[in-house]
Structures are given as structure tokens and as C-alpha cells.
């Protein structure tokens, strides 16, 4: 099987220990399911949650890779992997309140597949709500009915034959946001950008403290041209080296031309799934199946991503932390990072 499969996630490098719990709101597909990562009090012998919480998610991943027969294999190999956080750990009180990040997953993912970046940001003093979308963009998700608590599962949906992908995808990914900032990967990255326009509490002039977005390797395709002038808040685009196209970068630059605080950087040696937990799988088989590994060490990639995000959030959320030490990353200055994209960078 290409060596023993395991998930080599590390504990957060920030000053806080991290707890997590699942939250379900509402008894229909219009409700919310999310995994909450937060600073917690130390707890000896704390239980660590499963990375893939249910077998149905293994089946969803198998269908997504068009290897439906591999669901038992995925479950056998990865079903016992755990995340190094304290399950339902006691919340650590904070007199000033923790800033909130709402994380939107990519197509075919679900709430736990970005645990590495979520727990890292939580360790630096954020509450991170990793959503699981019920619009058929998750590989699988569910809700519990109010009548008898029965589970209703919602599968991932491919683009129907005869429909254009742009018009199909742009209807998905709508989220009900509350405050602070929104972050996402791939399809979730462009959802984060759209949230700055579509969510009234993120719009210019609203008294809310929602101020910016962080987009990890955003799939810019579903963003309508008519919406570009409406994106007035700053966005940090953190791209991989092997996913973006000149056309996609041009769309990001269109936003940065309207707001000097919008930044575009690329992590060299990374691939699209370098922003997911798949990059931390130690065995070769599933790394190949999910295309999870670039040439850059995955821990270095996570460090660049989290430090750049922290520096950006300090600027736009008026945080009184020491995250400004990583401001150079926002200009694409540092080891394994460049501004914009390699094909846009004059020195490469």
C-alpha cells in the first residue's frame, strides 16, 4: 500500500493550546454544521478527535476520486488518524474576546480537511469556524431532522451534463457570515471574496468589524466580472505554484489594482492540495491519489501560509500582537515565496 498511511499533523506553534468541537445549528439542509477550533485550557489525557469523523466521508472522497470501490481502503488506512487538539476541551477565557475566522472548504472537501491551518491559527489566539457546506459542494455532509433525529446525508454533486460549470458553481457556496474575517481554499477561496460583496455585514460602511478575506489558491473562475468593482475590502491571495493560470492571476491583479492593501503571493514548490491536510499524509499511495505533495516541505508551507495570514490579519483587524514580524511575506519576500506568480515575476 506504498507504506503505512498516517496523518502527521503537528500541534500549533502559538502560545495557546487548542480545543475543538462540532456545532450543528438547524434541522434542515439550510442549517449549519461546523468544526470550531479555539484556545483552550490545558487538559491532561484529553481525547483527540478523528480526522475523518464518519465512514460516509470516506465514501464521499472515494466517489470524488472516481474510485468508489476504494472507500473501505480509505477508511482502513485513514479512519484512525486523529487531530492533535483537545476534543471538547475547556474554553480559555479572554477578557477582550478572540477574533473570529470563518473558513470555507474547497469543492469535494469537508469541515475537517483543513485542520492543520485551522488549529495553527487557533493556537495564535483565534476562534476558527470551519464550515461544512450543505449545497452539494462538500464530498458529503448531513443534518439531523427535528422530528426523530434521523440523519439526512447530502452527497457531492458533479456538474450535470449539459450545464455550463460557471453557472452551476456560482450558485453554490453561499454562507451566512457574522463578523471579523472569512478565509477559504480553492472554491472556498473565491467564496471568501464573494462574501465581502454578498454578506451585508461585510459591505463597505457597515458598522461591523468584518474587514478582509484570506484566499488560499482561490479558484477565480466563478467570480462574475460585474462583481469586481464591488470588492472594496482587502484580500490576501496565497497561491500555490502549480495551480494558478495567467488568467486567474490577472483577475486577482484586477482586485489589487483597486485596493493597494490587497496582496498576491505564491509559495514555491507547492501544489493545490498543499493547503489541505492531505499534504501531511506520510504514505505514498494516498499522496499520489490526491495529488497532495509538492517539492516544498509541507511544514514549511504551513508556516508561510499561517505567518502571512497572521501578518495580514494584524493589519486589518487592528490586533495588538507581534505578527508584524512577518510583514515581509505579504510583499512576497522570503524563502520559498514570491510576489504574484512565477510567470509574472521578472526575476524568475
118: left (phi over 0), alpha (psi -120 to 50) or beta: alpha
Q: Express each pLDDT in 138-149 by its tens digit.
A: 556 656 776 677
pLDDT digits (tens, 9 = 90+) for 36-67: 999 999 988 899 999 999 888 888 888 776 56
Longest dimension (CA), the chain: 62
C-alpha 187/C-alpha 285 separation (Å) is 25
Measured distance CA(299)–CA(188) in Å, rounded: 22
pLDDT confidence band for 136 (50 / 70 / 90): low
pLDDT in tens, 272-325: 999 999 999 877 666 666 667 889 999 999 999 999 999 999 999 888 899 999
Provide the pLDDT for residue 149.
72
> pTM of this prediction?
0.85
- Decide: 103 and 76 in contact? Cβ < 8 Å: no
CA-CA distance, 47 to 142, in Å (whole number)? 24
345 is catalytic: no
336 is catalytic: no
Integer Cα distance of 338 and 348 in angstroms:
9
Which among 116, 133, 217, 240 is annotated as catalytic?
217
Residue with cell 505579504: 330
- The predicted-structure confidence for 2-35, as pLDDT tens digits, reads as follows 445 688 999 999 999 999 999 887 766 667 788 9
Helix axes 55-64, 71-78, angle to 10 degrees: 130
Out of 133, 185, 272, 273, pick the active-site residue: 272
For the domain spanning 19-344, the CATH number is 3.40.50.1820
Question: How does pLDDT run across 250-274, given as a tens digit for each residue?
Answer: 999 999 998 999 999 999 999 999 9
Residue 274: its pLDDT value, please? 93
The secondary structure of residue 82, as a DSSP letter, is B
Neighbours of 148 (CB within 10 A): 6
The Cα–Cα gap between 334 and 13 comes to 19
Mean residue pLDDT of the chain comes to: 82
53, containing H or E segment = none
Active site (annotated) includes residue 139: no
pLDDT at 77 over 90: no
Active-site residue, from 137, 186, 248, 306: 186
For residue 348, give every residue at least 6 positions away whose Cβ sits within 8 Å of its Cβ, in sequence order, or none.
338, 342
Indicate whether 175 pLDDT > 70: no
Amino acid at each position: 500500500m506504498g507504506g503505512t498511511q498516517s496523518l502527521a499533523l503537528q500541534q500549533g506553534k502559538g502560545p495557546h493550546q487548542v480545543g475543538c468541537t462540532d456545532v450543528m445549528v438547524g434541522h434542515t439542509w439550510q442549517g449549519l454544521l461546523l468544526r470550531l477550533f479555539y484556545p483552550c485550557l490545558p487538559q491532561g489525557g484529553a481525547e483527540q478527535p478523528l480526522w475523518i469523523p464518519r465512514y460516509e466521508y470516506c465514501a464521499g472522497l472515494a466517489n470524488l476520486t472516481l474510485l468508489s470501490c476504494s472507500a473501505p481502503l480509505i477508511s482502513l488506512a485513514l479512519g484512525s488518524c486523529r487531530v492533535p487538539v483537545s476534543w471538547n476541551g475547556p474554553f480559555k477565557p479572554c477578557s477582550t474576546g478572540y477574533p473570529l475566522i470563518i473558513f470555507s472548504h474547497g469543492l469535494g472537501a469537508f469541515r475537517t480537511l483543513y485542520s492543520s491551518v485551522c488549529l495553527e491559527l487557533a493556537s495564535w489566539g483565534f476562534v476558527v469556524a470551519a464550515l461544512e457546506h450543505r449545497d452539494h459542494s462538500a464530498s458529503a455532509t448531513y443534518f439531523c431532522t427535528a422530528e426523530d433525529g434521523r440523519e439526512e446525508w447530502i452527497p457531492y454533486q458533479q456538474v450535470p451534463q449539459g450545464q455550463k460549470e460557471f453557472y452551476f458553481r456560482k450558485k453554490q457556496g453561499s454562507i451566512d457570515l457574522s463578523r471579523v474575517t472569512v478565509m477559504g481554499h480553492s472554491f472556498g477561496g473565491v467564496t471568501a471574496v464573494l462574501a465581502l460583496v454578498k454578506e451585508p455585514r461585510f459591505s463597505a460602511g457597515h458598522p461591523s468589524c468584518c474587514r478582509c478575506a484570506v484566499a488560499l489558491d482561490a479558484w477565480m473562475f466563478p467570480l462574475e466580472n460585474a462583481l469586481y468593482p464591488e470588492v472594496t475590502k482587502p484580500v490576501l491571495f496565497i497561491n500555490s505554484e502549480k495551480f494558478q493560470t495567467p488568467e486567474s492571476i490577472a483577475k486577482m491583479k484586477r482586485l489589487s489594482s483597486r485596493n493597494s492593501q490587497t496582496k498576491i503571493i505564491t509559495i514555491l514548490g507547492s501544489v493545490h492540495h498543499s493547503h489541505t491536510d492531505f499534504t501531511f499524509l506520510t504514505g505514498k499511495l494516498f499522496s499520489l491519489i490526491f495529488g497532495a505533495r509538492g517539492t516544498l516541505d509541507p511544514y514549511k508551507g504551513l508556516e508561510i501560509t499561517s505567518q502571512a495570514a497572521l501578518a495580514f490579519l494584524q493589519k486589518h483587524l487592528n490586533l495588538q500582537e507581534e505578527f508584524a514580524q512577518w510583514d515581509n511575506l505579504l510583499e512576497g519576500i522570503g524563502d520559498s515565496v514570491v510576489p504574484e506568480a512565477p510567470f509574472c515575476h521578472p526575476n524568475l
